[in-house]
Structure 1
Amino acid sequence: MVMGATGSKLEKALGDQFPEGERYFGLENFGNTCYCNSVLQALYFCVPFREQLLEYYSNNKNVGEAEENLLTCLADLFNQINSSKKKTGVIAPKRFVQRVKKQNELFRSYMHQDAHEFLNFLLNELVDILEKEANAKDSPGTSSQSEKIANGSSHLHVNGVQKEPHITWIHKSFQGLLTNETRCLRCETVTARDETFFDLSVDIEQNSSITSCLKNFSSTETLNAEDKFFCDKCCSLQEAQKRMKIKKPPNVLVIHLKRFKYIEQLGRYKKLSYRVVFPLELKLSNTLENADAEYSLFAVVVHVGSGPNHGHYISLVKSHSHWLLFDDENVDIFDESAVQTFFGSAQEYSSNTDHGYILFYENLGGRS
């Protein structure tokens, strides 16, 4: 599709401020594929992710016999945008969308899909592909490696030696570490278990903020009655206190607001339009073990609509020093002060149905 009026309008609006070498392209919608388009725009403006993907493209573009997969399709799409002669326009991510549908039957229908489920699926799928490639390089000629990965074994054996799972550039961007601490209230023994994450899904409350949601995420919970904890030291079920802390913050912190809640009385999911303030600058202190981390907001995937099974997704993106709104094919400049219109509504019924759903923060100390 050729560049329409929106492209030239955007160029005029930015004028001399159009960032050198940057491209702002809308993405065509193939029938309810806004969940995919909104996430792709957030990832395109996640600079470390984009740079690594473009590097991957340039390293692999001459590999003739390589089979097409989700990673090659995405790298191809990002390269198409990045290397375009035009600064603005519209691109049809057709091959990528076809590949997604081929790979995962969940996304095959024309029904409204969940952008967060798609983001999770995409990052995990890309990690799988990169791990398989790394293991094939480490031990050419053995198919057992990829079979082990396919069967969910993360620790591989190469020549009888156990090998740690490969750390990909996706891990380096998005992976953080949580520690789950459980303290037995009888013997005071603390059992700690670490687990990795690519994003944090947090419960939300009316008239709250991301900071308070994260505080609740890390708050201490008492395990008693039917929920007692089996303490290895006491060799019995005991009352305990449990809490989750961020042990190692990621370079890119993705926060998913749980806006869709199952209401038992209704027997269905309901969208929570709660007002949840997400600041442009976020400090992680009380959720973090022994440290502070400062983050800056660079993208927001917004759910538009009053219910979970229908609606639309758009994304707000910060590029260089200005904000843009990507709505499928359309790209518009956007005032930073208007970001707050996407916090949600303080009233239960409101005509504003555009609510922040997935937030992307960049770690200011983690720029490498």
Structure 2
Amino acid sequence: MGVAGSKLEKALGEQFPEGERYFGFENFGNTCYCNSVLQALYFCAPFREQLLDYYSTNNKSEEENHLLTCLADLFSQISGQKKKTGVIAPKRFVQRLKKQNVLFRSYMHQDAHEFLNYLLNELGDILEKEAKAAKTDNKTSSSPEKISNGPKLLQPNGAHKEPTVTWVHKIFQGILTNETRCLRCETVTARDETFLDLSLDIEQNSSITSCLKSFCSTETLHSEDKFFCDKCCSLQEAQKRMKIKKPPHILVIHLKRFKYIEQLGRYKKLSYRVVFPLELKLSNTVEDYADTEYSLFAVVVHLGNGPNYGHYVSLVKSHNHWLFFDDENVDMMEESAVQTFFGSSQECSSNTDHGYLLFYESLRTS
């Protein structure tokens, strides 16, 4: 990476952002899925900031060895480098990941979305446990006579207890509301659910906006799919739709490029052209968040024809420059080149490089 690193420094010259570091990650055989996602997360400003803050306040002994400390240690290593560019081996993090989850132990091609989903949920769980443990410690130390009641505070899903909202949730979590309207009595039943990313079905020659509209479109429930209305006390025809009740600060969109084909008896990669804009206006939200605007800052790209083989790279926007991260290699790229990863407008195409995970940051200040 010496030559590539100096090439990148030369390309940026005086425009090299002060205090920033651009480091590639060593690949341990099949860890491009991990490397590409970690690069996207490193250049997610609020996530990096919180993780480095966690590292500085929780830099404990080696006993505290979980995915969160391993990732915090990796990010701290990068940000603390004397050199501006180079290569780092995320060995400790990968070892911990494989030790903890059997899915990632094999040398088979892994799914970047599956890894991101697992990682964010795991980090959230660790932070929740630490917050509950800290709460217990505070209560027991301030009320020594109630020490015997301490363990009860650790019981999950206790009555009237609000779930702990960690900084991972504050950054990535949004809320969807599922509205069902009975067509007989017009009663609307709403059910909320949280999400850390949105998985969207894709169509040929479509856009993120049209995919989001399809995701939130109205569906009629009839025949064997009728809805049981509590007010009518019977099965009724109904209309169902999904709305975004609260958009997240960082919106992660997963394009469902791998589809199970019944006739083939296996998954197939959809190379459809799906346009993802650099600036996205999020409609299909409740009124409080109408037309929330987002800016694209990272894309995890899948290279290859099928779901069980291929390669992952990431495109990252840092200080108004776009960079191409391919494991150990980091290069400059033109902003206009991002569109080459939209997909193929024709089914038979040699282009196999397609956007898979999209990372958008909200421009909303409040």
Provide the TM-score with structure 2 as the length reference: 0.94
1:312 is displaced (CA, Å) by 0.4
Separation in 1 of the partners of 2:153 and 2:306?
44
Q: Does 1:116 align with 2:109?
A: no
Question: Which residue identity does 2:298 align to in structure 1?
Answer: A
Corresponding position: 1:325 with 2:324: yes
Equivalent pair of 1:132/1:145 in contact (CA under 8 Å): no
Alignment of 1:209-358 (within 5 A): 209-285=207-283, 287-290=284-287, 291-358=290-357
CA distance in 2, matches of 1:4, 1:178: 47
Decide which of 79, 83, 88 is 2:80's aligned counterpart.
Answer: 83
Give deviations 1:302-325, integer Å, cap 9, x for gaps: 000000100000000000110000
Task: Note closer, same or farther for the CA distance 1:310–1:276 as it changes in structure 2 (3 Å cut).
Answer: same
Tell me, in whole angstroms, the C-alpha distance in 1 between the residues paired with 2:229 and 2:311.
Answer: 47
| DSSP-derived class of the 1:31 partner | coil
Which stretches of structure 1, 4 residues or more, deviate above 6 A after TM superposition? none
Instruction: Pick from 3, 13, 16 the counterpart of residue 15 of structure 1.
Output: 13
Tell me the CA shift for residue 145 of structure 1: 5.1
Q: What amino acid is aligned across from residue 205 of structure 2 in structure 1?
A: N
Distance in 1 (CA, whole Å) between partners of 2:193 and 2:19 is: 39
Once the two structures are overlaid, the 10-residue window that deviates more, 137-146 or 125-134, is 137-146
Matches of 1:16 and 1:350, distance apart in 2 = 40
Q: Once structures 1 and 2 are overlaid, which stretch shifts more, 340-349 or 63-72?
A: 63-72
Shift in Å, 1:66: 4.4
Which piece of structure 1 moves more, 135-144 or 241-250?
Answer: 135-144
The aligned amino acid for 2:65 is E
Write the distance in 1 (CA, Å) between the matches of 2:13 and 2:247: 38
Question: Which structure 2 residue ranges, 5 or more long, are not aligned?
Answer: 141-149
CA deviation after TM superposition for structure 1 residue 167, in Å: 0.7
- d(CA) in 2 for partners of 1:353 and 1:308? 12
Look up the equivalent residue of 1:252 and give its one-letter code: I
Name the CA distance, whole Å, in 1 between partners of 2:63 and 2:172: 26
| Counterpart residue number, 2:145 | none
SS in 2 for 1:255: strand
Match of 1:128 among 119, 125, 130: 125
Partner residue, 1:5: 3
In structure 2, what is the Cα distance between the partners aligned to 1:66 and 1:223? Answer: 53
- Cα distance, 1:156 vs. partner? 3.6
Superposition deviation, residue 349 in structure 1: 1.3
TM-score, with structure 1 as normaliser? 0.94
In the other structure, the counterpart of 2:143 is: none
RMSD, aligned α-carbons: 1.2
Q: Assess if the C-alpha contact under 8 Å between 1:156 and 1:165 holds in 2.
A: no
Runs (5+) with no aligned partner, structure 1: none
Give the SS at the match of 1:29: coil
Deviation digits for residues 215-261 of structure 1, max 9, x if unmatched? 00000000111111111011111110000000111100000000000
Secondary structure of the residue that 1:179 maps to in structure 2? strand
Instruction: Please list, as runs of the form range in 1=range in 2, the aligned pairs for 1:57-206 lying within 5 A after superposition.
Output: 57-61=55-59, 63-64=60-61, 66-140=63-137, 142-143=150-151, 148=155, 153=156, 155-156=157-158, 162-206=160-204
Per-residue deviation at 1:163? Answer: 2.4
Alignment partner, residue 52 of structure 1: 50
| In structure 1, distance between residues paired with 2:88 and 2:238 | 54
What is the distance in 1 between the residues matched to 2:324 and 2:298? 10
| C-alpha deviation, 1:67, in angstroms | 1.9
1:132-186: CA deviation from partner (whole Å, max 9, x where unpaired): 000000012645555x4xxxx4x346xxxx3211110011110111100000011
- Aligned partners of 1:66 and 1:54: how far apart in 2? 19
Query: What is the letter of the counterpart of residue 316 of structure 1?
Result: L
SS of equivalent residue, structure 2 residue 337: helix
More helix by share: 2
Count of residue pairs brought into register by the alignment: 353
Question: Which amino acid in 2 is paired with 1:362?
Answer: E
Name which of structure 1's ranges 26-35 and 65-74 shifts more when overlaid on structure 2: 65-74
Q: What is the alpha-carbon distance in structure 2 between the residues aligned to residue 226 and residue 107 of structure 1?
A: 40
SS in 2 for 1:170: helix
Counterpart-to-counterpart distance in 1, 2:10 and 2:153: 53
Identity of aligned residues (%): 80
